[in-house]
Amino acid sequence: MKAHLSRRYRFSASHRLHSEAMSAADNQATYGKCNNPYGHGHNYVLEVTVSGQVDEKTGMVCNLADLDGFTEQEVLSRYGHENLNTLKEFASEVPTTENLCIKIYEIVHRKFPGVHLERVRLEETMMNSFEYTGGGAPRF
> What pLDDT was estimated at residue 135?
81
Distance separating alpha carbons of residues 85 and 91, to the nearest angstrom: 7
> What pLDDT was estimated at residue 137?
54
3-state secondary structure of 25: helix
> What pLDDT was estimated at residue 136?
65
Distance separating alpha carbons of residues 118 and 130, to the nearest angstrom: 14
101 is catalytic: no
> What pLDDT was estimated at residue 96?
98
> What pLDDT was estimated at residue 5?
96
Q: Which of 56, 81, 98, 116 is catalytic?
A: 81
Distance separating alpha carbons of residues 108 and 64, to the nearest angstrom: 14
Query: CA of 56: how far to CAs of 1, 62, 68, 114, in Å?
Result: 10, 12, 22, 15
Q: Which of 18, 42, 123, 124 is catalytic?
A: 124
CA 6 to chain centre: 14
**117 Cβ neighbours under 8 A, 6+ residues apart:** 48, 49, 50, 105, 108, 109, 134
Class of residue 87 by CB neighbours under 10 A (exposed 0-12, middle 13-18, buried 19+):
middle
Q: Where are the domains of the chain?
A: 2-132
34 is catalytic: yes
124 is catalytic: yes
> What pLDDT was estimated at residue 29?
98
**127 Cβ neighbours under 8 A, 6+ residues apart:** none
Q: What pLDDT tens digit does each residue of the chain (140 aa) get?
A: 789 999 999 999 999 999 999 999 999 999 999 999 999 999 999 999 999 999 999 999 999 999 999 999 999 999 999 999 999 999 999 999 999 999 999 999 999 887 899 999 999 999 999 999 998 655 54
User: What's this model's pTM, rounded to 2 decimal places?
Assistant: 0.93
For the domain spanning 2-132, the CATH number is 3.30.479.10
> What pLDDT was estimated at residue 115?
84
